[in-house]
Structure 1
Amino acid sequence: MEYRRGRYSWLLRPFLIVFDLLVINIFALYSLNFNEEDIYFFSNDFFNDKHTLYIIYSATVWFFSSFLLKFYKVYRYTSLFKIASLLFKQFFVYGMAVYAFIGFFRSVNLGAFDVLKYLLFVFAAIGAVKILSYLILKTIRAYLKGNLRNVVIIGSGSGIAELKNIFNRQRELGYNIKASFSDSYDNDTTGNINDSFNFLKNDNSIDELYCAIDELSEKQINEYVKYANLNHCNIKFVPNTSKLFTKRLHTDYYNYLPVLSIKEGSLSNDINKFLKRTFDILFSLFVIIFVLSWFSIILFILLKMESKGPLFYRHKRNGINYKEFYCYKYRSLTVTKETKGTYVKQDDHRVTKIGRFLRRTSIDELPQFINVLKGEMSVVGPRPHMLSYTDDYSKKIDKYSFIFRHHVKPGITGLAQIKGYRGEVESDKDIINRIKYDNFYIENWSLLLDINIIIQTILNVVKGDEKAY
């Protein structure tokens, strides 16, 4: 069970629900000018009033759609991008319902533009208040030290270290680490795991417990669960980040034998495939026509002045379902033959002067929009590896995790790249995190997520990326 504590923040959700219902109905009263003829649907004259019927209908639709879409499920760790996504989804569903209402009742004579204007006003008001309340709470937590959650962290490992880093760095989340216990005796720990039980007995102000599930015994976990239930606080378990815990594995039981299969991700849905492919075609056509058409001519002349070789460099990569294809790039090296272990390193002598600029700005990747148009790649997706690296990495990564990323088309950019995991792989940690972000993207794909990644990629190009060499 999820327990919630706090003085007044719990009132925010009911307030927002009431506010939203008032907005959609008050705006309807002044924006939607139904024709004067009554809507005869019920025998009772009260319900035949056009505005009364719409209020009942709109409130019902709003409650139903917001429940299904989890429109009000916004937490302190929810991102602004997630809130924007919820607003767009709710706007789309509620908008379709409003148009359905007008289409169903023939006596309602309203123009499509008038309805669209009403919907835009409604969601501008609702969106502004929703985002403003979200930002105000973040400000209160970061600067006024209010609306804080007292947390105790149990255990160690990469997952716990990352969690502590998030809590300490992102003050606007409002997590106050009261104590940290671990048998590894780090500098920032309060004591060992046995000490934590005495600490918890004497402190009932704890809101959440975070436990490193890989480090604790079953008996210890049961003790923490018992404490959480008795003291009405939340308990959460943190895996080691080197282990890729995801929702993609589905378990079937053949009698008592568990058999794992790979779940279909968001991009297995035919509608999502169509949306993503349509976006890829339109975006790649725009880049090819308005950028590649003239830029390639200028670059060809500059490259020829510096070194011999073709304008484009093509190299074999693994695509969807491990299918091999030739991936295009602008040539940035003095050599064009691909051999095992030839990832470009920092200050690599093979990189030309123009090539260094191309790689620093990631402009060398632009010809891959040709691959996108051909259907071999997508604008956004997991980056395709060299064939030799695919073989090497698959031996170091959990097989299900590695196979899963090859169930979609590779991308020119991706979530792993904007998070800093691109280019040369210096350690196993680099490839583990790359696969982790790739699989998260596949499981949680949306068109808005693609747009967000593209925008972040452009910003990284402008700012410069230290791993782009």
Structure 2
Amino acid sequence: MNAPFVVRPLKEGTEVDELLVAPSRERRRLQCYVALLIGDILSIILGCGVVGYLFAGKGGLAESLVHAQLILPIFLTVAFYNGSYSIVALLASWKGIFRATVAMVIAMVVVIFVQFLIQPGAGVSRAAFNGGGLVAMGIIAWSRLQLRSFVTWRCGPSVINELIIDDGGPQVNLRGAIRISAAAMGLRPDLNDPHSLDRLGLVLRNIDRVIVSCPAGRRANWAMMLKGANVDGEVLDDEVARLGAQGARVVGKHGLLLVSAGPLGLRDRAVKRLFDITFAGSAILALSPLLILVALAVKLQDGGPVFFMQRRMGRGNRFFNMYKFRSMTQALCDKDGNTSASKDDQRITKVGKFIRRTSIDELPQLFNVLLGDMSIVGPRPHATGSLAGDKLFWEVDLRYWQRHCLKPGLSGLAQVRGYRGATDHESDLINRLQSDLEYLEGWTIMRDIQIIVLTLRVLVHDRAF
């Protein structure tokens, strides 16, 4: 019932109904939205009512139901605004649950604030109110997860109809998408033929998004045809992928592709910097006895300098001086990093072996964090002469330079996944690079905290030499 109609090659004189390639999902999505809406309303009433009854019997039940009536209008207003009932909520249950939870929290805060303004001395059970709200959130999450099967039943594996029109361009594979041949369906990007436009319009009935794969010479005509088709339309252009474009805009008569952008906005940069300063400053104070002891041990080992300073590349492809406790003999220190340290490296001192094994040699980089050269979490900075196999890092993969759009870190996603130590093979670098690029794609402060916690498990590591 929910599967797309079988698409067959068409002949001259084909009936209009045979041009239909997919049933409409719009009404079915609406049914799913209504189901989510009813589920949320019942969850709030049930959660508040149950907790109120448990706290104060029938009297508490009546009061809690009043609270539910106050919460519901505000909750529904915010929920409709923040997309709790949207295609995104149908596609990803947890995103819908998160948005509904945010709406619930806002509604509770507003009710508390208004009630305080109107009746500041009212004898309202805070425990019952807060408990009812928390239980309601839990029931909302549970009900939305249960309704996942209802959404699948009504809409099938995908809640939208996505169509790929193959007109001789590169092969496109999208999960759940319907694929048709332009030649088989008699579709031509002919702007001078109203019948061609009508035929395309009939094919695109009930379609939510269409992608056309065609040669470069026909892209402009297909684009013009899609503009009047009342559907989200895209034309395949692999140049976008080659350039790594992130968006597009038109300035005057010129089309511009956005190929780079700062990964963090001003607010996120401020949050990350504040976190870095707070964490690094606190860590230096807490670890000051250890830092002093290690400095003395390094000095007494051979009388050389305590710190090893090496030029590394940081944010914006700019060099900075990175500090470490010196772990190699003074005469054999490799300032350019041309030779990676190995397990039985003769250059490493006895003290150096211990501080490298326990990652203590990295602690002076806390001062780099305070100076603003580094962050607590980010892609690890590498020496300019570092090799993966017999190639420089950027010779292995040019995406290597993308790592430098953020400040380098003391630890990163690659390190907590175990990708550290010598890069004897090109694959050693590729694994790190993939993790670093993944980190750049979606920064949050909670992810930084998670990486810091996971770092504690890999401070002592068999590849830390």
Shorter-chain TM range is 0.5 to 0.7
Distance 1:425 1:60, change over 3 A: same
Determine helix, strand or coil for the equivalent of 2:456: helix
Q: Are the counterparts in 1 of residues 312 and 382 from structure 2 also a CA contact under 8 Å? A: yes
Q: Are the counterparts in 1 of residues 263 and 405 from structure 2 also a CA contact under 8 Å? A: no
Equivalent residue, structure 1, for 2:225: none
C-alpha displacement at 1:284, in angstroms?
Answer: 0.6
Determine helix, strand or coil for the equivalent of 2:310: strand
Q: Are the counterparts in 2 of residues 321 and 408 from structure 1 also a CA contact under 8 Å? A: yes
C-alpha displacement at 1:60, in angstroms?
Answer: 3.6
Question: Does residue 67 of structure 1 match 2:84?
Answer: yes
CA RMSD of aligned residues (A): 5.0
Equivalent residue, structure 1, for 2:339: 342
Q: Are the counterparts in 2 of residues 71 and 87 from structure 1 also a CA contact under 8 Å? A: no
Mapping of residues 349-364 of structure 1, within 5 Å: 349-364=346-361
2:108 aligned residue (95, 98, 112): 98
Residue type at the aligned position of 1:330: F
Equivalent residue, structure 2, for 1:43: none
C-alpha displacement at 1:405, in angstroms?
Answer: 1.8
Question: Does residue 331 of structure 1 match 2:326?
Answer: yes
Residue type at the aligned position of 1:432: I
Distance 1:224 1:25, change over 3 A: closer
Mapping of residues 311-326 of structure 1, within 5 Å: 311-326=306-321
User: Distance in 2 between the 1:227 and 1:427 partners?
Assistant: 39
User: Distance in 2 between the 1:452 and 1:27 partners?
Assistant: 32
User: Distance in 2 between the 1:69 and 1:368 partners?
Assistant: 46
Mapping of residues 58-207 of structure 1, within 5 Å: 58-62=75-79, 64-65=81-82, 67=84, 94-103=104-113, 106-107=117-118, 109=120, 122-123=133-134, 126=137
Distance 1:87 1:389, change over 3 A: farther
User: Distance in 2 between the 1:457 and 1:245 partners?
Assistant: 35
User: Distance in 2 between the 1:224 and 1:92 partners?
Assistant: 32
Question: Does residue 301 of structure 1 match 2:318?
Answer: no
Equivalent residue, structure 2, for 1:465: 461
Equivalent residue, structure 2, for 1:406: 404
Distance 1:441 1:103, change over 3 A: same
User: Distance in 2 between the 1:256 and 1:432 partners?
Assistant: 40
Determine helix, strand or coil for the equivalent of 2:312: strand
Residue type at the aligned position of 1:275: V
- How big is each residue's C-alpha offset from its partner over 1:80-137, in whole Å with a ceiling of 9 and x where there is no partner? xxx6x997876566434432344456325489x9879955774577469959999xx9
1:280 aligned residue (276, 281, 284): 276
User: Distance in 1 between the 2:259 and 2:334 partners?
Assistant: 36
Determine helix, strand or coil for the equivalent of 2:457: helix
Q: Are the counterparts in 1 of residues 244 and 259 from structure 2 also a CA contact under 8 Å? A: no
C-alpha displacement at 1:278, in angstroms?
Answer: 1.0
Residue type at the aligned position of 2:325: Y
Determine helix, strand or coil for the equivalent of 1:467: coil
Residue type at the aligned position of 1:318: M
Residue type at the aligned position of 1:381: G
Distance 1:245 1:443, change over 3 A: farther
Question: Does residue 433 of structure 1 match 2:438?
Answer: no
Q: Are the counterparts in 2 of residues 265 and 443 from structure 1 also a CA contact under 8 Å? A: no
User: Distance in 1 between the 2:412 and 2:107 partners?
Assistant: 35
Consecutive unaligned residues in structure 2, runs of 5 or more? 5-31, 53-65, 149-156, 159-167, 181-240
- How big is each residue's C-alpha offset from its partner over 1:431-450, in whole Å with a ceiling of 9 and x where there is no partner? 23322221221220001111
Equivalent residue, structure 2, for 1:159: none
Distance 1:340 1:370, change over 3 A: closer
Q: Are the counterparts in 2 of residues 265 and 442 from structure 1 also a CA contact under 8 Å? A: no
User: Distance in 1 between the 2:417 and 2:382 partners?
Assistant: 17
C-alpha displacement at 1:219, in angstroms?
Answer: 8.5
Equivalent residue, structure 1, for 2:453: 455
Q: Are the counterparts in 1 of residues 75 and 103 from structure 2 also a CA contact under 8 Å? A: no
C-alpha displacement at 1:67, in angstroms?
Answer: 2.5
Equivalent residue, structure 1, for 2:235: none
TM-score, normalisation: structure 2:
0.59
- How big is each residue's C-alpha offset from its partner over 1:375-419, in whole Å with a ceiling of 9 and x where there is no partner? 111000111111234993233323xx3333212111101112222
Equivalent residue, structure 2, for 1:271: 267
User: Distance in 1 between the 2:130 and 2:335 partners?
Assistant: 55
C-alpha displacement at 1:459, in angstroms?
Answer: 1.5
Determine helix, strand or coil for the equivalent of 2:385: helix
Distance 1:110 1:339, change over 3 A: farther
Determine helix, strand or coil for the equivalent of 2:336: coil
Determine helix, strand or coil for the equivalent of 2:108: helix
Residue type at the aligned position of 2:70: L
Residue type at the aligned position of 1:396: V
User: Distance in 2 between the 1:86 and 1:277 partners?
Assistant: 31
C-alpha displacement at 1:272, in angstroms?
Answer: 0.6
Aligned length: 351
User: Distance in 2 between the 1:330 and 1:118 partners?
Assistant: 55
User: Distance in 1 between the 2:348 and 2:96 partners?
Assistant: 45
Percent identity over the alignment is 28
Distance 1:332 1:339, change over 3 A: same
Q: Are the counterparts in 1 of residues 47 and 139 from structure 2 also a CA contact under 8 Å? A: no
Equivalent residue, structure 1, for 2:396: 396
User: Distance in 2 between the 1:287 and 1:254 partners?
Assistant: 49
C-alpha displacement at 1:53, in angstroms?
Answer: 3.3
Determine helix, strand or coil for the equivalent of 1:67: coil
Distance 1:91 1:450, change over 3 A: farther
2:74 aligned residue (49, 57, 70): 57
Residue type at the aligned position of 1:334: T
Equivalent residue, structure 2, for 1:378: 375
User: Distance in 2 between the 1:17 and 1:379 partners?
Assistant: 43
Consecutive unaligned residues in structure 1, runs of 5 or more? 5-11, 33-48, 138-205, 208-217, 231-243
Distance 1:94 1:320, change over 3 A: farther
Distance 1:246 1:25, change over 3 A: farther
